[in-house]
C-alpha cells in the first residue's frame, strides 16, 4: 500500500509540474525569442562582470606585489645600513685595540730597555767591585 501512495504522489507531482509549465508558457509576459535574448544578454553581462572583477583582482594583486617589493627593498636597505654601521663599529674597535696594543708594546720595549740599562749598570758595578776587590789583595 505504501508503494501505491508513492506512485500516486509521483503522478500528482508530475501532473502539477506539467500544468505549471503550461500556465507559465501561456501567461509569460515575453515571447520565447525575447526570453532567450534576455537570457543571452544576462549571460554576456555576467561574463563581462567576471572579466572586470578578474582585471580588478589582478590589479589589486599587482599593487600588493609592488607594495611588498617596496617593503622588502626598504627592509633590505635598512639591513645594509645596519650592517655597514656594525662594520664601522668593528673597524673602530679594531683600530682602538691596535692602538692600545702598539702602546703596550712600546711600554714593554721601554721597560725592557730600562731594565737592560739597570742590569748593565749593575753588572758594570759588579765588575768594578770585583776588580777593586781583586786588585787590593
Q: Each residue of 11-64: pLDDT tens digit?
A: 888 888 888 877 776 676 777 788 778 778 888 998 998 999 999 999 999 999
- pLDDT tens, position by position, 61-105: 999 999 999 999 999 999 999 999 999 999 999 999 999 999 999
Q: Are 101 and 93 a contacting pair, CB within 8 Å?
A: no
Q: Tell me which residue has cell 520565447.
A: 32
pTM over the 0.75 mark = no
Amino acid at each position: 500500500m505504501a508503494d501505491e501512495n508513492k506512485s500516486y504522489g509521483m503522478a500528482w507531482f508530475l501532473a502539477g509540474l506539467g500544468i505549471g509549465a503550461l500556465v507559465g508558457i501561456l501567461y509569460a509576459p515575453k515571447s520565447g525569442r525575447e526570453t532567450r535574448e534576455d537570457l543571452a544578454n544576462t549571460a554576456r553581462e555576467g561574463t563581462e562582470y567576471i572579466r572586470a572583477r578578474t582585471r580588478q583582482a589582478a590589479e589589486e594583486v599587482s599593487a600588493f606585489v609592488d607594495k611588498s617589493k617596496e617593503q622588502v627593498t626598504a627592509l633590505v636597505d635598512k639591513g645594509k645600513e645596519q650592517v655597514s654601521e656594525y662594520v664601522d663599529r668593528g673597524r673602530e674597535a679594531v683600530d682602538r685595540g691596535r692602538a692600545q696594543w702598539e702602546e703596550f708594546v712600546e711600554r714593554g720595549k721601554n721597560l725592557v730597555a730600562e731594565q737592560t740599562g739597570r742590569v748593565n749598570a749593575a753588572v758594570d758595578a759588579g765588575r768594578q767591585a770585583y776588580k777593586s776587590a781583586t786588585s787590593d789583595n
